[in-house]
Chain A
Amino acid sequence: MKLSRTAAFYIALVLVLAPAPFFLNAYWLDVLDSIGLYAILGLSLNIILGHAGLFNLGHAAFYAVGAYTAAILNTQYNIPILWLLPVCGLTAGLFALIVVRPIIKLRGDYLCIVTVGVGEIVRIALINDVFGLTGGSNGILGIQRPHLFGFVIRRPMHFFFFIWAFVALTVFLFTRLERSRFGRALNYLREDEVAAEGSGINTAHYKLAAFIIGAAWAGMAGNIYAAKMTVIAPESFSFWESVVVFALVILGGAGSIPGVLLGSFVIIGLPELFRGFADARMLIFGLAMIVMMIFRNQGILPAHPRPYFLDVLPEGAMQPESASGSPGEVPAAKEPL
């Protein structure tokens, strides 16, 4: 059987990543952990930005809600952090529902600036120690490591397997989502909102659903981040963070899961390789973003339109005229009204 491009990419990725823990030192494993974490964030933003085409430059807000939910519940009530994974998804999703519901009808760029605003409001609220829970600008310290069947996930290598397993799960689920009726509806409203509305797609509903799913997944990424760092502070959830995730989705290829994975390697991994250039590395990074957009603006691995093969249709469904007797006869035109 011929391998599809996507499958080939996944196999190559697994072949490259699987032996990595046995060759790389703790520093580079930590870089791979970060890449995995951003890949999860990128995949979650991909639902909103890539599939539904909604400009969201405030993704760090949902990430922050997840991370702080994990941190607060873990440090105050000693709930194991892994159990909190779904809880974090739930709170981030709920937060998205409350915040995005009133603004979902805004057009592209207005929505964009409002998401920026939401991100900033969340960050400022965290700094100002809202409800006395977030610990102000120092953040929250002493978050426990995750336990899995009595095994403590502690070292970069443990996190490597934990994070990339979660990436694999995310890829699997989001691929299923992409191919579902829901995914098609999102793509439709991205391409043409008016036509989608006209075909009976409740656009506000689907946009909101895209936001909630993306936010929930970002919340879970926040949980993993909190567990990995054991200390979180508002500065980790700044506007810059949203920009990085946004850039990796667009640069990798909006709407394409392999693209987003590759994008996270490029955006998070490449600056690490340029550490030798010290101060100038971000300059190179910015230049690379411009050059990339000029020469390949659809991203490194763009999403391809999916073909639908009609051979899955029942026999004879393609020839409606054969059922109505005399083939080739055009039905008489109706009298104009």
Chain B
Amino acid sequence: MEQFFQQLTNGLAVGAIYALIALGYTMVYGVLKLINFAHGDLFTCGAYLGLTLVTTFAITEHTGPALGFVILVVLVMALVAFLGAVLERAAYRPLRQSPRLSAVVSALGASIVLQNSLMLIYGASYLVFPSDILPSVPVQIFGIYIPLLRIVIFAISLAMMVGLYLFIQKTRIGTAIRAAAIDQGAARLMGINVDRVILVVFLVGPALGGAAGLLIGLQYGQVNFLMGWSYGLKAFTAAVLGGIGNIPGAMLGGLLLGVIESLGSAYVSTAWKDAIAFCVLILVLIARPTGILGERVAEKV
């Protein structure tokens, strides 16, 4: 039972990170119908920028751990959001009127560019992420000791998800995003500046992805320029699992995927961990072709 709860909490923490990345995929997909393959690499950028801020600029040393940590997260989010906006401007905006496939190839190209820029700047080997940013004390909850880091990751992710949900549901620009996701043309006719909506999506999504990168760096203690591929793929899987384009779906899909993976690697086989996630995805899609929370879209004739 002890092991089960350890795995469950671990799964929830990793799943929350998947959910943060998945939100970026799902928001972009919702508005542009584009699989943003470069999103996973923006996530890697977040991890590396966090590393630079911690080691080179020693952000957390001047302040206390709590305040320093918050500043770190906010700075990383801002920087990655900026990168996301640049990416949208350079690689996606010129392709707004093109067939969808060419935007996908442009996204793949952007992913290669980001990946190799990181490799040229930071080198190809694994870099160690400092582990002393947060005190590594276990916290006792219901008689089980859970590392503080895991709780912080889960709490931050959850806070961001709630924040995003409120942003999308309650604010004017959030309403505009939802409108543009339903019908871009009609949204434009209602006086919504769709280009601005897309820009906001490319600020918010990468900001969350960058924060996720930082959290993954903290969780696993190392970063590599290629890690965006696998996490991006997992997160995209999570988004599809929940129903792509659907924001609560991405959250649910991410958490579900994290827990399934964590329990699967504990009770089935570690070597098959990644395969389990994809098997679950395929089984879910056979039963529900548009994901768990996805709505059935009627074919237009």
A residues contacting B by CB (< 8 A) are: 55, 102-103, 105-107, 109-110, 112-114, 116-118, 120-121, 124-125, 127-128, 193-194, 239-240, 243, 246-247, 250-251, 254, 279-280, 282-283, 285-290, 292-294, 297-298
Contact = CB atoms under 8 A, between A and B. Distances in A.
Interface stretch (B8-16, B142-150, B160-168, B267-275): B267-275
Given A120-B233, A283-B117, A247 B282 contact: no
Contact of B35 (A109, A118, A250, A294): A109
Top 5 closest A-B pairs, CB basis?
A289-B109, A286-B112, A117-B278, A297-B102, A286-B113
Interface stretch (B65-73, B131-139, B216-224, B284-292): B284-292
Nearest to A243: B108
Contacts of B90: 290
**Max chain B CB contacts within 10 Å: which of A114, A127, A251, A294?**
A294
Contacts of A239: 229, 233
Interface stretch (B46-54, B91-99, B192-200, B207-215): B91-99
Contacts of A124: 271-272, 274-275
A110 B240 contact: yes
Contact of A293 (B105, B269, B275): B105
A110 B269 CA distance: 27
Contacts of B116: 279-280, 282-283, 286
Contacts, number: 130
Contacts of B106: 289-290, 293-294
B240 A247 contact: no
B282 A289 contact: no
Interface residues of B, number: 50
A289 to B, nearest CB: 3
A110 B291 CA distance: 9
B151 interface: no
Chain A binding surface SS class: helix
16 contacts: A109-B33, A109-B240, A110-B289, A113-B240, A116-B278, A121-B278, A250-B102, A250-B104, A250-B105, A280-B116, A286-B116, A288-B109, A289-B109, A289-B112, A294-B95, A297-B98
B120 A279 contact: yes
A289 B105 contact: yes
A290 B236 contact: no
A105 B289 contact: yes
B88 to A, nearest CB: 12
A297 B95 contact: yes
Contacts of A297: 95, 98-99, 102
Contacts of B279: 117, 121
B237 interface: yes
A294 B110 CA distance: 12
A288 B109 CA distance: 8
B89 to A, nearest CB: 12
Contact of B119 (A103, A110, A251, A279): A279
Contact of A254 (B95, B98, B101): B101
A120 B113 contact: no
A290 B113 contact: yes
A246 B99 CA distance: 15
A194 B299 contact: yes
B272 A128 contact: yes
Given A239-B233, A246-B108, A286-B111, 15 more contacts: A107-B297, A114-B282, A121-B275, A127-B271, A194-B300, A194-B301, A247-B109, A250-B101, A283-B117, A287-B109, A289-B112, A290-B109, A290-B110, A292-B109, A293-B98
